[in-house]
Amino acid sequence: MPSSTVVIGVDSSTQSTKAAFVDAATGRLLAVGRAPHRVTGEAGARESDPEEWWRALGEAVAAGLRESGAAASAVTGIAVAGQQHGLVVLDDAGRPLRPALLWNDTRSAPQATALTAALGGPAAWTARTGSVPVASMTAAKWQWLREHEPYAAESAAAVRLPHDFLTERLAGVAATDPGDASGTCWYSTATGAYDPGLLGLAGLDENLLPPVVPTGATRVGSLTRGAAALLGLPAGIAVAAGTGDNMAAAVGLGLGGAGLLDHPVLSLGTSGTVFAATRTRPASPALAGFAATDGTYLPLACTLNCTLAVDKVAALLGLDRDDAAPGGEAVLLPYLDGERTPDLPAASGLLTGLRHDTTPQQLLGAAYEGAAVTVLRALDEVLRACGLDPADPDVASRPLRLVGGGARGRTWVETVRRLSGRPLLIPETGELVALGAAALAAGAVSGRDAVAVASEWGAGGGTEVPPLERDLATWHRVTSVLAGLVDG
């Protein structure tokens, strides 16, 4: 194998780290090393030790080297894509002062509400950042820390996102990209920089934050000798700025300025996410109006409860996850961790419409339906944010790209087909975040546009699934219950 052909894309997610070894010339996936890390907390708290992420990155790279059979000397670049929004506070030696507050930690919901009001409401926030603070956003978590653990906030010598923390450990350089930065609610998608007024509102010195480089494919530095020794890789290889996990998935699918624009994606994982890459700057209070990592935009809606919540319902019923049937009259909203979209951080699971003849399989099917409807409701809003009419036949006929772990599940696929009425495209690879990160690494090595690299790799291709007639009866039944919950 030529020594210039291997790049590593790292997917540091909520539960684990994956390191994808990719042939930079062809995009062929050589191996994926994996290592778990822990999430702790209860009653809305969700935290992880950033040092575990670092150890897991080393373990995943070592496993990938063994599995791929590649020589370490063949690796020329590395990039990290990480879970968005998490808050990492560091001391002056770069060590975490406390466990990271994760995106799905809902304790900061009151702070998000207060921040929204302090700037004058949702419209004021979307005009500047593209997004309205909710409990998941970094700005809300920082406010929670200031109020509940002021010593940690006052002692912070650096404030980082999860992927920033890992990139800095690799290269010894503080840097982030527009995509992940736009999930903090401190970065303005209108100006392409941190917003001084919002930092003032947070009592946060911009010098505590990493500089924003133009794209996630920018080479921000070289692998340090210390990091190289830990990872078993050559010192001096290219380290890219990297990005957030959703932005990396878009790159992996070839979505962006050098690829496809305005094509919707539905990701079924721990969270349910719908997004599209577009040149239209989004400013809808119903969405997160993120920047993409390549200079375009990534309007996105994210739900907290998706595959993990449905699996929990299956376990409670003693059923296999695919032992499900359409819910019939039953409606089950599996909001086991509160909910982000709609913004209901204190919500819990809700079951209604139960009858004597309701079966366990129907209850499980109702959980699938509740989770799917919740994320699909946001699809039309994402399309409108792209400047498109969801009812336009051309727009409605564009395949919905179905990704994430749920895209490998028969019941998830059929539920989304039935409730969306759209054709689906299921990419062949299940490692789009890591593959997108690998394309960012390849871009850092070669100086090329990462979306163009990923498009040439063809990772966005896959199985096309024709549409079903839309199940409007179930759709209206679930949305009616959901509307009552929101209005109540």
Q: Which residues belong to the annotated binding site for substrate?
A: 84-85
Identify whether 11 is a catalytic site residue. Answer: no
The single-letter DSSP state of residue 79 is: E
Residue 76 CB coordination number (10 Å): 22
Query: Can you say which residues are annotated as belonging to the binding site?
Result: 84-85
Asked if residues 353 and 329 have their Cβ atoms less than 8 Å apart, the reply is: yes
Q: In the numeric block, which tokens belong to residue 150?
A: 């002021």
- Measured CA to CA in angstroms, residue 386 lies from 80, 265, 272, 287, 450 at distances of 27, 13, 19, 12, 22
Quick check: 218 and 176 in contact, CB under 8 A? no
- Angstrom distances, CA of residue 248 to CA of 13, 252, 294, 440, 441: 12, 6, 10, 8, 11
Q: 45-70 burial, b for 16+ CB within 10 Å, e for fewer?
A: ebbbbbebbbebbbbbbbbbbeebeb
Percentage helix, strand, coil for the chain under 3-state DSSP, each rounded to 5: 40, 20, 40
| Catalytic, out of 11, 245, 380, 449 | 245
C-alpha span between 249 and 214 (Å, rounded): 18
Contact between 91 and 208 (Cβ < 8 Å): no
Tell me if 97 sits within 8 A of 157, measured CB to CB: no
The tokens 């020794």 sit on which residue? 229
Question: Token pair of 200, please?
Answer: 């003032």
Which amino acids are annotated catalytic? 245
